[in-house]
Copies of this chain bind each other. A is one copy, B any other.
Amino acid sequence: MKTIQVAVIVGSLRKDSFNRKLANAIVKLAPASVHFQFVEIGDLPLYNQDDDEHQAASVLRMKAEIEKSEGVLFVTPEYNRSIPGVLKNALDHGSRPFGKNSWGKKPAAIIGISPSPVGTALAQQHLRGVLATLDMLTLGQPEMFLQIKDGFFDDSGNIGEASKKFILRWIDTMIQWIELNSK
């Protein structure tokens, strides 16, 4: 059975982040043929173009991890009705130096959870625009604007019964999207 490599980027650095929890639960739920690699973005410096010719070790590591993946899964919280600065900072680093955009042509998928689905929806809308600029191929439908609710996660941090089938179906769609669009 063919395996695929998917890089996972979580937009929040908070230890008990719901979106990190969501990413972990997706990894557990997905078929074994998908190898997920969590890409750390919390150790990146603030982007400064003056460093383009001597990028920090953490930047080079992140870029290498993206480049060897066949697709990228963004699990994104929302801050102030847009993408967390932390996530945008990682996207900016990965796009540089000029002509060495690590994101280019990679298929991508976006999912997120917030106290109201409004939060993640607004963040995802901005993220889509940025990913198009980065020349990523982003899965369009179904949109996944998840809401934090009792029972969404069970006590072991898995997706609860009520949402499991729904999330599994989306994971399948994501896998097909990445397989179809990765080179």
Q: Which of B14, B46, B130 contacts A82 (CB 8 A)?
A: B130
Q: Determine the distance from Cα of A140 to Cα of B13 in the docked complex, in whole angstroms.
A: 28
Q: Given the complex of chains A and B, what is the CA–CA distance between A89 and B143 in angstroms?
A: 22
CA–CA, A134 and B80, complex, Å: 7
Nearest residue in B to A121 (C-beta to C-beta)? B118
Contact of A84 with B47 at beta-carbon distance under 8 Å, contacts A117-B118, A121-B122 already known: yes
Given A46-B44, A85-B87, A117-B118, the answer on whether A133 and B140 have CB atoms closer than 8 Å is yes
**A126 pairs with B126, CB closer than 8 A:** yes
Give chain B residues whose Cβ lies under 8 Å from the Cβ of A13.
Answer: 46-50
Q: For A118, what are the chain B residues with a Cβ–Cβ distance below 8 Å?
A: 117-118, 121, 145
Contacts of A128 in B (CB 8 A): 128-129, 132
Q: A122-B125, A125-B122 are in contact. Are A86 and B145 (CB under 8 A)?
A: no
Query: Is the Cβ of B117 less than 8 Å from the Cβ of A47?
Result: no
Chain B residue contacts of A143, Cβ below 8 A: 133
Task: Name 14 extra pairs, CB < 8 A, besides A13-B47, A132-B140.
Answer: A12-B49, A13-B50, A44-B46, A79-B88, A85-B85, A86-B92, A122-B125, A125-B129, A126-B129, A128-B132, A132-B141, A135-B140, A135-B141, A137-B140
Chain A residues at the B interface, C-beta cutoff of 8 Å: 12-15, 17, 42, 44, 46-50, 79-92, 95, 104, 116-118, 121-122, 125-126, 128-138, 140-141, 143, 145
Give 19 CB contacts A-B under 8 Å: A13-B50, A46-B86, A80-B92, A80-B95, A80-B134, A81-B125, A82-B83, A82-B130, A85-B88, A85-B90, A86-B92, A88-B89, A118-B121, A122-B125, A125-B125, A128-B132, A131-B140, A132-B140, A134-B140
